[in-house]
Copies of this chain bind each other. A is one copy, B any other.
């Protein structure tokens, strides 16, 4: 299967959903021409990364959220995908009928069916305005921590699982999917190029941490991974690009070269997942869960020495 990543350049505050969906469709058309059968879009693909802005009354930001999917703005994308026989995944902000806000992604079959919904588990940042930061990162203000956990689905013959942005830094994410036999992990992200708490941590170090996390997660679970950025300048803030496709050996096999809308793709032979899963990472043979208790019994650090 040829898998694609559709990196999306910055989306400004004023940009309507219809414009973004048109950009997504252009990338999907291009992907189809190049043989891509499954296409990965970023986290929060439809809007600017609004958690960089603070509002006292959270409800003022409900307009960044989708109350149904597909909806009028995204229906053309779903229609195009069905016409092309393209499976895809993308992220958006979800407002449920119960009034809950999540940072969400979905996997859609080539037939247009939503097969799986994932709500971001590891929300980074903070919940209140923090004057110590060079810029705000208020995901904990605008979203609830996801309630879905990490699940896989079989789509187009491949066992797929989703993660979103900061989830990729947490080996718990990868292992939860790995224990379900995942063969393709999809990750969308919006990652500022500057650590908002450290002047010295700039883009090079942050891209390294991104790649390190994705490559290690792929290797240690013997799975392909596609990590796709929304990136470049957005409302005057820079987010790094660095979209990559990684093989089950942890090697980058495709990488974006720019910071705008850009297609990356790679032929993925999912049979290659089997070697690692049956040898060095044969979990049944080698894992020792009797010694892993702290990982699920204990949330934070406990120093007892």
B-contacting residues of A (Cβ < 8 Å)? 121-124, 145-146, 149-150, 152-154, 159, 166, 169-172, 174-176, 178-181, 195, 197-198, 205, 208-209, 212-213, 215-216, 219-220, 249-251, 275, 277, 279-305
Which of A121, A172, A279 has the most chain B CB within a 10 Å cutoff? A172
The reply to whether B169 and A172 contact each other, CB–CB distance below 8 Å, is no
The reply to whether B296 and A296 contact each other, CB–CB distance below 8 Å, is yes
A180 to B294, CA, bound (A): 9
The reply to whether B283 and A299 contact each other, CB–CB distance below 8 Å, is yes
| A294 contacts across to B, CB distance below 8 A | 175-176, 179-180
A180 to B293, CA, bound (A): 12
| For the complex of A and B, 10 pairs with smallest distance between CB atoms | A284-B300, A171-B171, A216-B216, A149-B291, A181-B303, A154-B305, A296-B296, A179-B294, A181-B301, A283-B300
A152 to B305, CA, bound (A): 7
* Minimum CB–CB distance for A134 against chain B, Å: 13
The residue in chain B whose Cβ has the minimal distance to the Cβ of A249 is B205
| A179 contacts across to B, CB distance below 8 A | 294-295, 298, 300-302
| A288 contacts across to B, CB distance below 8 A | 121-122, 145-146
| A122 contacts across to B, CB distance below 8 A | 286-288
The residue in chain B whose Cβ has the minimal distance to the Cβ of A176 is B294
* Minimum CB–CB distance for A116 against chain B, Å: 9
**Contact status of A303 and B176, CB under 8 A, knowing A121-B288, A170-B220, A296-B292:** no
A293 to B63, CA, bound (A): 35
**Contact status of A250 and B295, CB under 8 A, knowing A284-B300, A300-B287:** no
The reply to whether B305 and A298 contact each other, CB–CB distance below 8 Å, is no
**Contact status of A292 and B169, CB under 8 A, knowing A213-B220, A284-B301:** no
* Residue from B159, B181, B299 within 8 A of A289 (CB atoms): B299
The reply to whether B299 and A296 contact each other, CB–CB distance below 8 Å, is no
The residue in chain B whose Cβ has the minimal distance to the Cβ of A281 is B169
List 27 contacting pairs A-B, 8 Å CB cutoff, sorted by A: A122-B287, A122-B288, A146-B291, A149-B291, A169-B220, A169-B281, A170-B287, A171-B216, A172-B287, A172-B295, A175-B294, A175-B295, A179-B294, A179-B301, A179-B302, A180-B294, A197-B275, A209-B249, A212-B250, A216-B216, A283-B300, A285-B300, A289-B296, A292-B295, A292-B296, A295-B295, A295-B296
The residue in chain B whose Cβ has the minimal distance to the Cβ of A213 is B216
A219 to B169, CA, bound (A): 9
* Minimum CB–CB distance for A212 against chain B, Å: 5
* Minimum CB–CB distance for A252 against chain B, Å: 11
| A174 contacts across to B, CB distance below 8 A | 171
